[in-house]
Chains A and B, each alone.
Chain A
Amino acid sequence: MLSSFYKSKIESLFINLDKIPYVYENSLFKEALDQMINNKLGVLCVVNNNLDLKGILTDGDIRRKLIKIQKPLSAFFADDIINHINKQPFTVNKTITVLEAITIMSEKKIWDLPVVENKKLIGILHLNDILKKLINNKI
């Protein structure tokens, strides 16, 4: 049972675009934070007008920036988000298996993976959703 779950594709597990925080690359930092708060996720994707993924920002990135960037908060909020993102995030496509995905998460010590299809952002795989599935279905 467990092994078939591990071998299943992540397709039905990742959160679709309409429910994840993402902003366009010309957005301000504050707009990005609003999206993360509204969607209750600690990761944000930044895309161009074609929805191609340009990078991500995580709660951890924000914590480190707050310490590193000595600016008034009002100035920090007005910064362009594009200058603050990780431009080379780990990504997956929807055809990979759950085992492959959690292996990446474990090795890289991350729990969110943007899901892309030909560079285009289509969602986020969140570790919590995998755990929920394990618990609720008593796999």
Chain B
Amino acid sequence: MNKIISVGLKGVKKVKIGSGNPLVFIGGPCAIENEKHTFKIAKSIKKICDQLDIKWIFKACYDKDCRSSLSSFHGVGIDEGLNILSKIREEFKVPVVTDFSDASWASRTAEVCDMLQIPAYLCRQTSILRAAAETKRPIHLKKGQFMSPWNIKNSVKKIENFGNNQILLTERGTFFGYNMLVNDIRSLPIMAETGYPICYDATHSIQMPTSMGNISGGQREFIPYLVRAAVASGVNALFMEVHDNPQKALSDPGTVLNIKYLKKILEQAKFFHKVRLKFSKINGKFDVE
């Protein structure tokens, strides 16, 4: 029961994610810093995705409620953020996704966004899952760093019970002791047992949560390795946050990918995805019993 979800309301190019469909890229800056910068990043991504013929969904957040420190950039806020996302959507005809950390923001967010994202830390928060489900938008559910891949099923069941079965499940690393994430590729096929399409978040997966005292660090040199491994394992979508100047990024400077590398990485990802698709058509879903 491999499900395919369709992302994109009226006015944008619809993107299908799931079995048999080409790899989808979900990306953008971690946070909306300002309108000009958001447009700059979106324009660069569009150019790359057009060149590589990859369907994409633009992602950026208006409120970063999970910052380690109060002094960190919290976001431009829901009003300005949704306004900018709406303009991006209109200008580039691209579906947009953003996360929300408070159940009361869901319906307003869904008025603009084609897809709603559940932050990993909140992946089992019933009120958030209910609010997202009730918007009837596709839901990008990130598996918490603390959660085993088989337990994401509980959150999936909550969403289904609230009447929504358009779900994309994302792996973004798993806590390994303190301030460290590891990536367990086994989680991709395990989460796929739910039947829903699977996404791999390559930039958050290399995060070292709050490893810098009051801010998270990361080892972005491992992004290409993990992308290749995840895509070859059969994910349906790839998520990466990009920035034109990572060190100056207002959010997640330790993990965002420098956009100058995006084309190289997506080109490889597309290639590996095609190979995986070819062999899954020959061998079936499983290569071994």
Chain A: residues with CB nearer than 8 A to chain B?
26, 28, 74-75, 78-80
Q: How far is it, in angstroms, between the C-alpha of A75 and the C-alpha of B151 when the chains are bound?
A: 8
Kindly list chain B residues whose C-beta atoms are within 8 Å of the C-beta of A79: 150
Complex: how many Å from CA A78 to CA B151?
6
The answer to whether B148 touches A28, judged by C-beta atoms less than 8 angstroms apart, is no
Residues of the A chain whose Cβ atoms lie less than 8 Å from the Cβ of B150? 74-75, 78-79
CB distance from A25 to the nearest CB of B (A): 13
In the complex, the number of residue pairs spanning A and B with C-beta atoms less than 8 Å apart equals: 15
Number of B residues near A (Cβ < 8 Å) is 7
- Chain A neighbourhood of B153, CB < 8 A: 28, 78, 80
Can you offer 15 A-B residue contacts whose CB atoms are under 8 A?
A26-B157, A28-B153, A74-B148, A74-B150, A74-B151, A75-B148, A75-B150, A75-B190, A78-B148, A78-B150, A78-B151, A78-B153, A78-B154, A79-B150, A80-B153
Ranked nearest first, the 4 interchain pairs of A and B with the lowest CB-CB distance are A78-B150, A75-B150, A78-B153, A78-B151
With both beta carbons as reference points, the residue of chain B lying nearest to A79 in the complex is identified as B150
* Consensus secondary structure, chain A interface: mixed
Taking the nearest CB of chain B, how far is it from the CB of A78, in angstroms? Answer: 4
CB contact list, B118-153 vs A, under 8 A:
148, 150-151, 153
Closest to B153 in A: A78
CB distance from B163 to the nearest CB of A (A): 15
Q: Which chain A residue has the least Cβ–Cβ distance from B190? A: A75
Provide the residues of chain A in CB contact with B151, threshold 8 Å: 74, 78
Q: In the complex, what residue of chain B is closest to A28 when comparing beta carbons?
A: B153
Identify 12 new A-B residue pairs, CB closer than 8 A, beyond the known A74-B148, A74-B150, A78-B150. Answer: A26-B157, A28-B153, A74-B151, A75-B148, A75-B150, A75-B190, A78-B148, A78-B151, A78-B153, A78-B154, A79-B150, A80-B153
Nearest opposing residue in chain B for A27, CB measure: B157
CA distance A80 to B154 in the complex (A): 11
With both chains docked as a complex, state the minimum distance between the C-beta of A87 and any C-beta of chain B, in angstroms: 16
| Central interface residue in A28, A74, A78, by most chain B CB within 10 Å | A78
Distance, CA A74 to CA B151, complexed state (A): 8
Give the shortest distance, in Å, between B195 (CB) and chain A (any CB). Answer: 10
A30 to B91, CA, bound (A): 50
Within 8 A of A (CB), among B144-179: 148, 150-151, 153-154, 157
Minimum CB–CB distance for B241 against chain A, Å = 30
Q: Which residue of A lies closest to B157 (CB)?
A: A26
Minimal beta-carbon separation of A34 from chain B (angstroms)? 15
Find chain B residues with CB under 8 A from A74 CB.
148, 150-151
Nearest-CB distance from A29 to chain B (Å)?
10
B192-205 vs A, Cβ < 8 Å mask (1 yes, 0 no): 00000000000000
- Looking at the assembled complex, report how far the CB atom of B149 sits from the nearest CB atom of chain A, in whole angstroms: 8
A45 to B190, CA, bound (A): 26
